[in-house]
């Protein structure tokens, strides 16, 4: 049975003392960039690092004694698993979490740290889900869906209540994977701030929201989900979330990994907030449609902050490249003492910073007596890259820019 505003209000009372309300944050930087009043909802600061604790804890709190005795099981790319593990352990309920074998190491380790049994199975979320369902059938454990569950959706909807407690928004942008978060928020705002437009933001590598809205039914994408926003890579939209958002959410904004990476970098660099790819997706969407948000009161939901450090390094690289602040190039020079030092001096004088360098004098496509230097440089942006290229060319260097 799909939850309504009453169920969300009950969930808020149930979650008191378990989750912490996350106050809205203003950002002068984002307001200047978007031309609107911008409020961030920082669920990356929630216990377990994401909004998922709201739904998982609400579901565990509603278990009957018989269900609790059977234990719970879930499939998760990381955040739902951590949340359910924490909530179940806190309630003294046995939990098993099935995660894709490709899940971020940080999320696997964090989930194990909350005490459940962790099983790695499959290459993506849907494969892990099938494995979890097989274990459920064998053991009798209760399957707790990450998004297609009335109690989970009601728990996520408490975010909408908290938003409406503080302001009356014009627009709320929400990241979308399976749809539980946006469904809960949409139900809550329809009752408490009915004039607010709720916009779903999806990753281009897992566009199940736009596919479902176009079809008028919950759909799975044709190709395997593939995005750095792994928390959104469900590959399909839940039936219950779709039924709830069908009349309340009419629009999806799709952003690619470069746009998501740029949003991660912006939040880290300017707001000092560490978010994962999924957590930054709504901001990426807001930046993409900023011309349509001018003058409005905008809330951006930052859904989580559980990011693998190796992935963070890649995302920073993506973000820097997308912003024109990372330059990869090769330079051919004469192989004699002092030439490399001269090249690096020119780069330093131009204000660029060397992140990595490789000096190769044995390539077949480099003349005998020559060498090729591969460089990764930090620059201030596209204009600075152009200035640096022109400076090197003026000093006789043949430069080839890769990115």
Segment 227-276, tens digit of pLDDT: 999 889 999 999 999 999 988 998 999 999 989 988 999 999 999 999 99
244 and 132 within one domain: no
Listed in sequence order, the residues at least 6 apart from 264 whose beta carbon sits closer than 8 Å to its beta carbon are 275, 276, 277, 279, 280, 307, 312, 315, 316, 319
Same domain assignment for residues 232 and 116: no
Distance CA 14, CA 244 (A): 22
* pLDDT of residue 317 exceeding 80: no
pLDDT(305) > 80? yes
292 lies in the same domain as 177: yes
- At residue 316 the predicted structure's pLDDT band, cuts being 50, 70 and 90, is confident
Q: Catalytic positions, please?
A: 52, 303
Whether residue 196 sits in one domain with residue 137: no
Sign of CA dihedral 13, 14, 20, 26: negative
Of 120, 143, 166, which residue is a domain's last? 143
Residue written as token pair 């049994």: 117
Residue where a domain stops, chosen among 277, 299, 320: 320
| Mean residue pLDDT across the chain | 93
In the predicted model, is pLDDT for residue 403 greater than 70? no
Which pLDDT belongs to residue 366? 80
Give 104 or 144, the one with higher predicted confidence. 144
The pLDDT confidence band at residue 206, using thresholds 50, 70 and 90, is very high
Across 131-138, average pLDDT: 96
The gap between the terminal CA atoms of the chain, to the nearest Å, is 51
> Mean pLDDT, to the nearest integer, of 320-344?
87
pLDDT class for 353, splitting at 50, 70, 90?
Answer: very high
Domain that holds residue 115: 54-143
- Of 143, 163, 190, the residue at which a domain comes to its end is 143
pTM: 0.87
């Amino acid at each position: 049975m799909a939850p309504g505003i009453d169920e969300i209000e009950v969930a808020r009372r149930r979650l008191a003392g378990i989750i912490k309300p996350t106050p809205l944050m203003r950002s002068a930087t984002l307001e200047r960039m978007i031309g609107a009043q911008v409020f961030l909802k920082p669920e990356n600061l929630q216990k377990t690092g994401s909004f998922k604790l709201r739904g998982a804890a609400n579901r565990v709190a509603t278990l009957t004694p018989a269900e609790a005795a059977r234990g719970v099981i879930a499939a998760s790319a990381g955040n739902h698993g951590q949340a359910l593990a924490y909530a179940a352990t806190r309630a003294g309920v046995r939990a098993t979490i099935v995660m894709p074998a490709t899940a971020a190491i940080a999320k696997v380790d964090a989930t194990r740290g909350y005490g459940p049994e962790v099983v790695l199975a499959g290459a993506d979320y849907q494969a892990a889900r099938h494995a979890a369902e097989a274990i459920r059938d064998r053991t009798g454990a209760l399957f707790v869906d990450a998004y297609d569950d009335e109690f989970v959706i009601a728990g996520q909807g408490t975010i909408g209540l908290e938003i409406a407690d503080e302001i009356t928004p014009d627009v709320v942008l929400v990241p979308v994977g399976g749809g539980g978060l946006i469904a809960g928020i949409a139900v809550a705002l329809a009752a408490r701030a009915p004039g607010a437009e709720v916009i779903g933001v999806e990753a281009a590598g897992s566009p199940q929201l736009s596919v479902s809205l176009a079809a008028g039914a919950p759909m799975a994408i044709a190709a395997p989900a593939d995005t750095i926003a792994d928390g959104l890579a469900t590959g399909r939209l839940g039936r219950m979330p779709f039924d709830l958002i069908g009349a309340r959410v009419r629009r999806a904004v799709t952003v690619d990994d470069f746009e998501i990476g740029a949003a991660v970098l912006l939040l880290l660099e300017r707001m000092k907030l560490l978010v994962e790819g999924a957590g930054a997706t709504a901001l990426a969407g807001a930046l993409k449609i900023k011309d349509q948000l001018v003058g409005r009161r905008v809330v951006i939901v930052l859904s989580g902050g559980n990011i693998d450090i190796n992935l963070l390094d890649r995302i920073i690289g993506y973000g820097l490249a997308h912003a024109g602040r990372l330059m990869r190039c090769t330079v051919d020079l004469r192989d004699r003492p002092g030439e490399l030092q001269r090249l690096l001096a020119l780069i330093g004088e131009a204000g660029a910073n060397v992140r990595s360098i490789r000096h190769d004098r044995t390539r077949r496509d480099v003349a005998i007596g020559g060498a090729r230097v591969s460089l990764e440089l930090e620059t201030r942006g596209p204009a600075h890259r152009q200035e640096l290229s022109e400076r090197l060319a003026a000093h006789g260097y043949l430069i080839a820019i890769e990115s």
